[in-house]
Chains A and B, each alone.
Chain A
Amino acid sequence: MFAVAAAAVLVSMVLAMVRAALGPTAYDRVLALNNIGAKTVVLIAVLGFVNGRPDFLDLALAYALINFIGTIAVLKYIEYGDLGVGTPRETGTE
């Protein structure tokens, strides 16, 4: 039964990749990539149950964290042109 769920996740990842390839703006691509990351988390969890060893859930948790941070970083880069590291601020002392 878990193979069906894994197949559904893979099909939806293909559809999201179509949007990431087609997307007319960069925001479409970022949205599709964030969605592919969330589906990857689900896929890791399901594949652990397919193999009968659900020990990969720690990887899914770490992947969810990295996916969120990566999405925020890419959006910040698109919006401001850099990641804000080393830019002078009023109160910053770096």
Chain B
Amino acid sequence: MGDIVSVVVWVLLLSGAFFLVTGSLGMVRLPDVFTRMHAAGMVDTMGAGLTLAGLCVYSLHDGANLVAVRLVLVLAFLWFTSPIATHAVAKAALSGGTTPYTVRGAEAGGEVDDRTGAAPEAARKAPGDGERGGGDTR
């Protein structure tokens, strides 16, 4: 394969790998479920998108074929369903009583464990705390 195509495929695959690992690291480290959704969306959009785009460029080097069409279909389906699934998770989490994490809520709620997201649990046990910003947005 040509050198330029190889360089383009390398760049796309490495960018996709960067976004995959960064988004997953954010999903481990961020404080609550709503902020973790942000990192998960990064994985679905940029990580999968760039990786599958790299595969698509590689397979298109042999000329137009059905492999590229299938890759585009997979990518389109991921890009359509990922926001829908994230929206469903957010709706279920809000109606299930999860309080979104805010900086003011963390300051008012006191102890915040940013590894396990204990702040929404602690804030849920003390409702009616007027100083907590964003806690009553639903």
Contact = CB atoms under 8 A, between A and B. Distances in A.
B51 A9 contact: yes
Nearest to B77: A64
B106 interface: no
A3 to B, nearest CB: 10
B85 A71 contact: yes
Contacts of B52: 42, 45
A66 to B, nearest CB: 11
The bracket for how many chain B residues form the interface is 35 or more
B73 A61 contact: yes
Contact of A12 (B43, B55, B73, B84): B43
Interface in B3-39: 6, 9-10, 13-14, 16-17, 20-21, 23-25, 27-28, 33, 36-37
Given A35-B43, A71-B85, A72-B85, A12 B14 contact: no
Interface in A22-64: 22-28, 30-32, 34-35, 38-39, 41-42, 45-46, 49, 54, 57-58, 60-61, 64
B125 to A, nearest CB: 13
Contact of A41 (B74, B92, B115): B74
Contacts of B55: 2, 45-46, 49, 54
Interface string B97-117: 010000000000000000111
Given A45-B74, A78-B96, A4 B13 contact: yes
A8 interface: yes
Given A35-B44, A38-B43, A27 B33 contact: yes
Nearest to B65: A54
B33 A28 contact: yes
A11 interface: yes
Contacts of A27: 33, 89, 92-93, 96, 98
